[in-house]
């Protein structure tokens, strides 16, 4: 089994005349938390979307678990993701939302879904509709959604957004627990403490270029 989970090979991505990624290469080793830092607009989210398969690189290729995205598969296999604001059915509870999503994947048991909701610090019995959730509560639910199919790779874009001090502490602890279970995590955060406390490797992005 290869220790290389993600292999990004000299990808570039343009939108019209704007070149957002410029010959980016990145390798992510199994069982580690890898951090990406950079200012807004540096290309972090676009890179994550290319790894997931939501965007196709203009040049280059992305390989996840030995599969080339867009050639061998449409989306990154065995991968959970939280990129930008997660979309939910706002007139349903968090539990109902995840139960609907669970039916589409490998995890369909009510017990497992309820446990995931508890793991991220929410109450599966809560009757409040997602439309009434705070931003922090939505983030927690989004992380639970990313974990639904027990993926080996997690791609998390600013997962601490909207969380209070206790929420940040909870999610940091959860990510370290997931790493201990052998999961590989790619994390973008503008909180220096997240990077310092969590990440085994750190990559900086600036104007579409990545560096160690």
Give residues with Cβ within 8 angstroms of 139, minimum separation 6: 82, 86, 159, 160, 161, 162, 163, 167
Q: Identify the pLDDT of residue 109.
A: 83
In whole angstroms, what is the distance from residue 91 CA to residue 93 CA? Answer: 7
Nearest CA among 5, 10, 4 for reference residue 208: 10
Across 139-162, average pLDDT: 94
Across 61-90, average pLDDT: 93
Q: Which residue's entry shows tokens 């490998």?
A: 106
Nearest CA among 25, 26, 36 for reference residue 204: 36
Q: Identify the pLDDT of residue 191.
A: 80
Residue with the bigger pLDDT between 212 and 92: it is 92
User: 69 has which bridge partners?
Assistant: 73
Q: Which residue's entry shows tokens 């080793």?
A: 29
**DSSP 8-state secondary structure symbol assigned to residue 86:** P
In whole angstroms, what is the distance from residue 19 CA to residue 136 CA? Answer: 33
Q: Identify the pLDDT of residue 84.
A: 80
Band of residue 103 on the pLDDT scale cut at 50, 70, 90: confident
Please report, to the nearest 10 degrees, the dihedral formed by the alpha carbons of residues 181, 184, 190, 195 taken in order.
60
**Using an 8 Å Cβ cutoff, are 61 and 11 in contact?**
yes
pLDDT digits (tens, 9 = 90+) for 35-69: 999 888 899 999 999 999 999 999 999 999 999 99
For residue 107, pLDDT over 80 is answered with no
Q: CA of 55: how far to CAs of 50, 70, 131, 163, in Å?
A: 5, 10, 28, 28
In whole angstroms, what is the distance from residue 67 CA to residue 73 CA? Answer: 7
Q: Identify the pLDDT of residue 193.
A: 83
Mean pLDDT score across all residues of the chain: 93
Q: Please name the helix (run of DSSP H) or strand (run of DSSP E) that holds residue 117, with its range, or none.
A: helix 110-119
Q: What is the pTM of this model?
A: 0.93
């Amino acid at each position: 089994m290869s220790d290389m989970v993600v292999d990004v090979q000299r990808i570039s991505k343009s939108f019209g005349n704007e070149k957002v990624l410029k010959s980016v290469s990145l390798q992510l080793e199994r069982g580690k938390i890898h951090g990406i830092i950079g200012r807004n607009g540096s290309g972090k989210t676009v890179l994550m979307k290319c790894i997931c398969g939501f965007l196709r690189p203009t040049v280059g290729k992305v390989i996840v678990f030995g599969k080339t995205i867009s050639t061998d598969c449409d989306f990154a296999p065995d991968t959970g993701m939280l990129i930008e604001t997660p979309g939910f059915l706002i007139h349903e509870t968090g539990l109902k939302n995840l139960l609907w999503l669970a039916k589409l994947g490998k995890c369909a048991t009510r017990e497992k879904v309820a446990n995931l909701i508890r793991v991220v610090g929410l109450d599966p019995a809560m009757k409040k509709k997602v439309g009434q959730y705070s931003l922090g509560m939505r983030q927690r639910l989004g992380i639970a959604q990313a974990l639904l199919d027990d993926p080996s790779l997690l791609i998390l874009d600013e997962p601490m957004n909207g969380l209070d001090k206790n929420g940040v502490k909870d999610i940091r602890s959860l990510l370290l627990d997931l790493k201990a279970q052998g999961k590989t995590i790619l994390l973008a955060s503008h909180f220096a403490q997240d990077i310092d406390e969590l990440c085994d490797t750190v990559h900086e992005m600036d104007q579409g270029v990545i560096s160690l």
